[in-house]
Every structure is written in C-alpha cells, then in structure tokens.
Structure 1
C-alpha cells in the first residue's frame, strides 16, 4: 500500500516511527508538510498540489496535524476526503477533539464523565462560574491547546479573575474546570487504536507542577488499565469519531473522568514507558481500515451498477407505427 503521512517534520519521533513501522511491512510511505499543499477548489473536481506537482497517489492518509496549524491542516485533510482518499482520522473528528468545550459537550451527552466544566465570557460571570465548579482552586484552559500548553491552575477566586481578564484581553476563548484534588497530580494516558486500548501509562507530575504531561517533566509508569478506564477511553474515542487517539483520564472518586482526547498523540513517551509497539499497531489497523474501505466501495459500485441496469430494463420500448 501507499501511505501518506501529514507531518511538519519527518524527523519527529512519532512520524519516523510510523514510517519505519509501515516500511517494515512492505508499504511505500511519503511524508509531507500540510503547509506545502495547495488546495484547488473547483466544481466536481477537488484536487491538490504538493508544490507545483499533483499530490502523490495514496491508498491512505495518516494525519499528524499539530495544534499550531489546525485550521489549514484540517482543510488539507478535508480535501483528501473530498477526493475519495481514505483518511485515518477525519477532519470533522479531529476538529471535535481539538475544541475542548465541544468535546466535553459531546462526551457528557453520551453519559461519559468529565470534570465539571464551565464556559465564562465576561468578568461579571466569574463568581457564578466558580460556584458551578466548586470554587477555587480551579483549572483554566484555552479551548485549543496540547501537551499541557494553555492549561493553568488558579488557587484563589482573585487569581481566576485576573487570569481570565488577561486571557480575554488577548482574544482567547477560555473554559474553567474543577480541580480534582484526589488525583494528586497524576493521570492516565491510554492509546486507543481501532476501538482497542493498545497501551497505557500512569503519569505523575513533578514536584511543584500540577500538569502530568511528559513534556512538562512528568514521570510515566506502565500500567494495566482497569476495565472501567479502558471502556471510558474507548467510548470517548468512539464519540469523537476517531480511529486513533490518546485519551487522558483522571482518577475521580466515582471512577475515570475524561480530561482530553488527542487525535495526534505522541508516541515516544508511551512506547518507551509501556514497551508496546504503538506505531506498529497503528499501521496494522491502517491496513485493515483500507481493506474495509475498499470492500465498502466495491459493494457500493456493485449496487450502483445494478441500479443502472434496472433503470435500462424498465425503460419503455417504442414500436414504429404499423410494426
């Protein structure tokens, strides 16, 4: 098969691991920067160029869209979808997971537990918003962010108000979230591939830090997730409509609480901590994904061809006068 990996940098650990895993299984792989594509929108003929050449033929596109290029990256993924090229994680699914408030809304609609979350837009609403989430300390998050970037803790109501006013003045959309004290600075990261948890780890924040992300200095430990946590992670990814995702969960008093769903999860920390070949699992699922798509398309073509034949049979036959 021919795989096209969308990534800003071919030397990144996650990108290079996917390339090696695919090539080890005999696939051709091309890595391309999403910003290098030119999207051509025309009637009935959506197309794209990589530089001044048509995009290379691909059986599947694997998006690794960084948060800094979300909008254009999603446009590129959407264009491939319109061109009929299978995409592992669609633009719609990626967009859902990137918007933290929207993701929380979709999850709770399916009865999946999350930390209490409030969206506030004016200084006058801060006190009431804090009341809804149980008061300070509170977690302040940008609606777009990854790897702990844009996630802050405010210890007092005054600190919450000051932080929100500063961020609003910068034009940022903010959500407030309850602080889950019982998690004690740790969370769980599960990698879900094709409705199955393939690897998991527990992350512990370093001293003086509440964010447990490995990029923030957190320590990762391999774990065998409890069934409830596996099911919560799988259900969350299914709600987003993703094929591959990293799910971050807190350990609440009543069980797992979904913190975030990452459509382009980093592989370095989870592979080294768990010892699992996550890249290989993604490529294996990609192969099955392409095969299923091919079978569905073949079946659809067969149905359309049969409908065309039926229409020809039903057309009335006209005889010449006197025949």
Structure 2
C-alpha cells in the first residue's frame, strides 16, 4: 500500500519525543506508507487569537491528528488541527477518566470491581465497609503506574490522606487478591484484538512495564475477542489498551488506556502494532477521499 499526500500531526507532550519508542515507530511506519506525519509537542505549543503556534510557528491544518496528549484545553484545540482525529477527541476526553470507564463500560466476559468515587475526606471506615479493609486508590487520569495506591489499614489511609488535596477526586476500588502482581493487557485496533500479553511485576502490586514488569505472550482467545468488540462498540476508540485482572470465575476489568504505548506489545508478541495503526489511518483517509469524490 502506498498512500501519497496524506498529511497529519502526531500530538505528544514535547517536540523532542521522536526517539521515544512509540513515537519513533509511528513515524517510521507512516513514512513507509508515504504519509507525512509531523510530531508536535503540546507543551511546546500555545494558542493565540489567530491560531495554534508551535515554537513560534503558526500550525496549518492537516488531514488528520493522532492524539497522544492528556491535557485539557490544549488537547481539544490541537485535535481540531486535522479533519479526523485518532482517537476522536470526544471519546478520548471521556475514557481517559477511570471513573467514566467503570460506570460506562460492560461486557458479559468480565466483572467490574466494586468501586466508589470521591475525595480523600470520605474516610477509611466508610470505604472499608463497602470495599473491604484492603482497597486500591487511583487518580482519575493517572497512567504508567502513577497515582495508584494499595491501602491496607486506617493508618496507611491517614498517611496517604495527609498528602492529598482535599477537593481532589479519586476512584476507590476493591482489591482483587487473585491478581496481585499480574494482569493481562490486550491491544485493540478498531474492535480487533491484535495482541495480548501477561504482565508480571517484580514484587509491586502494579504491573506497568514502565515500572519494570516483565511480559509473556498470551493466546488471543474468543473471550478476548468479544471483550475487544464490546469495548470498541461502547467507546469508539480506534486504538486502546485493555487491562484485565485475573479472577476465579472470569477476569475483572481494570482499565482502558486511550494512549497505550506499544513497545511491550510489539517486543512480546512480534505484532507490528505501529504498522496496523498507520494502516487504519491510511484506510480511513482514503475512504474519506473516495466518499468526497462520489459526492
């Protein structure tokens, strides 16, 4: 496949992230397809009355945007730099929030853990009565293992509470003891699970590869395929990581990642994730062009 004259932006945090694995691979696969993909750092950009600037240069509109930046207003404005956004800014803005995930998503093939959402002022005993004496606390938009805490006593909660802003909201979830230090990551592209792996931590209850977890390739089961289709139908996310916890009867839902890294999945499974993602971009833009010609 050779696509000519498709131009897009890869929106990341900084301009100089071209050597980070995920950015490098997306840029590499875009070039193979003849796609002009330019990396733009949101933190190196600003909005003025006449447009969006990056390092002092006014950014022109392009055909598409690949969104990999978590900010709020900057993210929304930079998504408008393309006629198509992968993932859509609306879906991205909803499902980056862990509370929105657990309250909106469902599948017959996984269980949603019991949860609460509120500030640290709920208090340990109130949470423990609903979720058990041991529970997990998550920042609503945390990633890569940041802002995730395992609380096992009132004293631990009191120490944690002292470090938090009183009006900041968190997701509180029951602790799934069958999945301590292990979980499953699926990589889903337009509803198709193209890769699956088991993540094993080195003693931490968190299993993020960024924190040093090791990985093993998993077979893509019918159960995984159904979960991928279910969550794609509900979210519309063209690319997402789906994290599942091990359970006795069926998996527990952990979270959806709207901007998943691809290094662990590619190295573990051998799947060309970046190539598949860029093919989706190319096919989508080609279909839009054909539709315009028909009209």
Between Structure 1 and Structure 2, how many residues are aligned? 287
Indicate the residue corresponding to 1:2 in structure 2: 7
Q: Does 1:55 align with 2:55?
A: no
User: Which has more radius of gyration?
Assistant: 1
Q: Which runs of 5+ in 1 are unaligned?
A: 303-323
Deviates more, 1:260-269 or 1:105-114: 105-114
1:277 to 264, 272, 275: 272
Q: 1:108 to 1:198 in 2, by over 3 A?
A: closer
Determine if contact 1:49/1:55 at 8 Å carries over to the other structure: yes
Determine if contact 2:42/2:75 at 8 Å carries over to the other structure: no
Larger RCO: Structure 1 or Structure 2 (Cα < 8 Å, ≥ 6 residues apart)? Answer: 2
Determine if contact 1:107/1:113 at 8 Å carries over to the other structure: no
Q: Does 1:156 align with 2:153?
A: yes
Determine if contact 2:183/2:207 at 8 Å carries over to the other structure: yes
Note the C-alpha offset of 1:17. 0.4
Determine if contact 1:77/1:87 at 8 Å carries over to the other structure: no
In the TM superposition, 1:113-262 aligns within 5 A as 113-121=111-119, 123=121, 125-133=123-131, 135-169=132-166, 171-207=167-203, 209-262=204-257
Indicate the residue corresponding to 1:22 in structure 2: 30
RMSD: 2.5
Determine if contact 1:120/1:126 at 8 Å carries over to the other structure: no
Determine if contact 1:140/1:151 at 8 Å carries over to the other structure: yes
Whole-angstrom CA distance in 2 between matches of 1:122 and 1:204: 30
Whole-angstrom CA distance in 1 between matches of 2:81 and 2:60: 11
Q: 1:64 to 1:121 in 2, by over 3 A?
A: closer
In the TM superposition, 1:63-102 aligns within 5 A as 63-65=67-69, 67=70, 70-80=71-81, 85-102=83-100
Whole-angstrom CA distance in 1 between matches of 2:9 and 2:76: 16
Indicate the residue corresponding to 1:318 in structure 2: none
Whole-angstrom CA distance in 2 between matches of 1:120 and 1:32: 35
Q: Which runs of 5+ in 2 are unaligned?
A: 1-5
Instruction: Choose between structure 1 and 2: higher helix proportion.
Output: 1
Deviates more, 1:155-164 or 1:189-198: 155-164
Instruction: Choose between structure 1 and 2: higher strand proportion.
Output: 2
Question: Counterpart of 2:112 in 1: which secondary structure?
Answer: coil
In the superposition, the TM-score normalised over structure 2's length comes to 0.87
In the superposition, the TM-score normalised over structure 1's length comes to 0.80
Q: Does 1:12 align with 2:20?
A: yes
Whole-angstrom CA distance in 2 between matches of 1:38 and 1:246: 29
